[in-house]
Amino acid sequence: MSDCIFCKIVDGEIPANKVMEDEEFIAFHDIHPKAKVHVLVIPKKHIPTFMDIQEEDVALLGRLHLFIQKVTKELNMDEKGFRVINNCKDHGGQEVYHLHYHILGGEKLAF
């Protein structure tokens, strides 16, 4: 059993407010939203940080961009826009060591 909280979401061991899921990715609402819409997008594959991305992951993460497009369309953020953020390691403020991208929007971001 994994200690990773996002792997537990992937495995269905803890609940998440999911927006969308396919074989490779899940999008779910952040429990502490920092914007009107704050969604996290994760690959189901456990990759700890941005710096752990390998050559073999390049196609997967290319598809993750297309998945983010679908999520933003589902949430009607695609026309007005949004922000995509990855926090990497300690200086980046990373709290959960399973690669994820924050999708922020639903309003004009003031920060």
Of 13-52, binders to ligand AMP (CB under 6 A) are 16, 28, 30-32, 40
Q: How far apart are CA 67 and CA 71, in angstroms?
A: 6
Question: Would residue 32 show up in a list of annotated catalytic residues for this protein?
Answer: no
Q: Nearer Cβ to ligand AMP, position 66 or 96?
A: 96
CB of 8 to ligand AMP, least distance (A): 8
Euclidean distance between CA atoms 71 and 40, whole angstroms:
10
* Alpha-helix runs per DSSP H in the chain: 5-11, 58-74, 89-92
Question: Is residue 109 part of the contact set for ligand AMP (CB under 6 A)?
Answer: no
Q: Which residues are catalytic?
A: 100
